């Protein structure tokens, strides 16, 4: 066999070898990319650790108003007292999610779960909600504002150690709840939009 043909054949064989190995390598990499991990375990809401013998106390919850004039209106509920502000906060959020008993609008979608709530030493309550809070939110800027301040005002008004509230979704900072209001910063109480006015703080627990 002439020498140049031999070299040509060897060269072609090498090219084919590289091509085939590249193909398998590529296939392997694509499989790795599309391989799905095990399904994450569904979230289980942990009930607040409250002693059944703990005394109950009244709290003022804020729900979106269905009447013209005010954005939020107040409804009274009973919760169990606790030394821990986070435990009281969890009960308040659970009551908010369960909805109004006086035909006011829902503060959060009924499917929302509270993943966690903790209070820092500086008085910042971090409220971690499930994705349903955004994906099932009915939308609209005013409704979004009402949802956020229902949570913020209900916590700051009733739990003395909570000064501001940061809302996170599925454990991570979220851009907005329904496309408008910036969730990247903590919210402070804002009673300007409620029917409660400025006299509410005096009746709140210390």
Nearer to another protein among residue 60 and residue 187 (C-beta)? 187
If one asks whether residue 171 binds another protein (CB under 8 A), the answer comes out as no
For the bound state, the minimum distance from the C-beta of residue 45 to another protein, rounded and expressed in Å, comes to 25
Q: 71 with 64: CB under 8 angstroms?
A: yes
How many Å apart are CA 82 and CA 90, to the nearest integer?
A: 11
Instruction: Assess 186 for contact with another protein (CB under 8 A).
Output: yes
- CA dist., res. 97 & res. 81, Å (int): 19
Q: Is-contact 133 54, C-beta < 8 A?
A: no
> Smallest distance, Å, CB 75 to another protein?
15
User: What is the full DSSP assignment across 104-124?
Assistant: ---SS-TT--EEEEEE-TTSE
- Quick note: the x/- pattern for another protein over 96-135, rule CB under 8 A, is ---------xx-----------------------------
**Least distance to another protein, CB of residue 97, Å:** 16
Q: Please report whether residue 145 would count as binding another protein according to CB under 8 A.
A: yes
Under the binding rule (CB under 8 A), the answer on residue 136 touching another protein is no
Residue 65 binds another protein (CB under 8 A):
yes
> Tokens standing for 172?
């991570």
Name which of 133, 140, 198 is nearest 170 in CA terms. 133
Judged by beta carbon, residue 46 or residue 141, the one nearer another protein is: 141
With vertex at residue 77, the alpha carbon angle to CA 71 and CA 80, rounded to the nearest 5 degrees, is 135
Residues of the shown chain interacting with another protein in the complex, contacts defined by CB under 8 A = 64-68, 105-106, 138-143, 145-146, 164, 175-176, 179-182, 184-188
């Amino acid at each position: 066999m002439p020498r140049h043909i031999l070299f040509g054949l060897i060269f072609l064989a090498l090219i084919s070898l590289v091509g085939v190995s590249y193909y398998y390598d590529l296939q392997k990499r694509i499989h790795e990319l599309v391989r799905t991990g095990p399904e994450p375990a569904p979230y289980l809401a942990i009930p607040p650790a409250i002693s059944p013998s703990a005394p109950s106390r009244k709290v003022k919850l804020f729900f979106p108003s269905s009447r013209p004039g005010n954005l939020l209106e107040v409804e009274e509920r009973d919760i169990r007292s606790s030394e821990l502000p986070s435990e009281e906060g969890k009960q308040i959020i659970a009551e908010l999610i369960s909805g109004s008993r006086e035909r006011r609008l829902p503060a959060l979608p009924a499917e929302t779960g509270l993943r966690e709530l903790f209070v820092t030493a500086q008085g910042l309550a971090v409220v971690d909600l499930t994705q349903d809070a955004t994906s099932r939110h009915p939308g609209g800027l005013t409704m979004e504002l009402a949802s956020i301040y229902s949570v913020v005002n209900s916590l700051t008004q009733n739990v003395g150690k909570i000064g501001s509230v940061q809302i996170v979704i599925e454990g991570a900072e979220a851009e907005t709840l329904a496309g408008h209001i910036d969730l990247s910063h903590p919210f402070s109480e804002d009673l300007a939009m409620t029917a409660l006015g400025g006299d509410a703080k005096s009746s709140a627990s210390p």
